[in-house]
């Protein structure tokens, strides 16, 4: 019987997927996370930024998201280290929520979905960390891939 798992060798050991035979293509992934903050935390908004005693929350979360994307291969087993060409994180307040959008780009043999998802996830966790002294009613409601292009197949969430 042929091995069904890409990350397990024929001898049953964990392994990284061999991408050496894959074509180099431009690859882009977008991810989104939503954090419910509530009225108490949102009352700390000053213009487009959420300010707490720890400092500017969204600006800090943007930096954390970009830094995390660059280290995805250190966090997720068997992710290939990528020479990311661009990572962008944007955060907007919408009602009682923070909407985080992350984009990752690379020209390579493997995609950047995990890098975009990691950026959005760590940005959401950073918002939580910086606001937890104000309220524990926050909820990271969802994290999802919204778009992927390049490679074998494209994906666009409607």
Active site residues: 129
118: phi > 0 → left, psi -120 to 50 → alpha, else beta; which? alpha
SS (H, E, C) the chain: CCCCCCCECCCCCECCCCCCCCCCEEEEEEEEEEEECHHHHHCCEECCEEEECCEEHHHHHHHHHHHHHHCHHHHCCCCCCCCCCEEEEEEEEECCEEEEEEEEEEEECCCCHHHHHHHHHHHHHHHHHHHCCCCCCCEEEEEEEEEEECCCCCEECC
């Amino acid at each position: 019987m042929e091995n069904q798992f890409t990350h397990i060798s024929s001898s049953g050991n964990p392994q990284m997927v061999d991408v050496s035979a894959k074509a180099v293509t431009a690859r882009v992934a977008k991810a989104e996370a939503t954090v419910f903050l509530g009225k108490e935390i949102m009352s700390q908004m000053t213009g487009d930024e959420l300010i707490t005693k720890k400092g500017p929350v969204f600006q800090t979360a943007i930096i954390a998201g970009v830094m995390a994307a660059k280290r995805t291969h250190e966090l997720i087993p068997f992710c290939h280290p990528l020479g990311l060409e661009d990572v962008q994180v944007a955060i907007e307040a919408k009602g009682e929520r923070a909407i985080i959008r992350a984009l990752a780009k690379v020209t390579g043999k493997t995609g950047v979905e995990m890098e975009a998802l990691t950026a959005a996830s760590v940005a959401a966790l950073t918002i939580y960390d910086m606001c937890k002294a104000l309220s524990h009613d926050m909820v990271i409601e969802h994290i999802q891939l919204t778009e992927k292009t390049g490679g074998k197949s494209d994906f666009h969430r409607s």
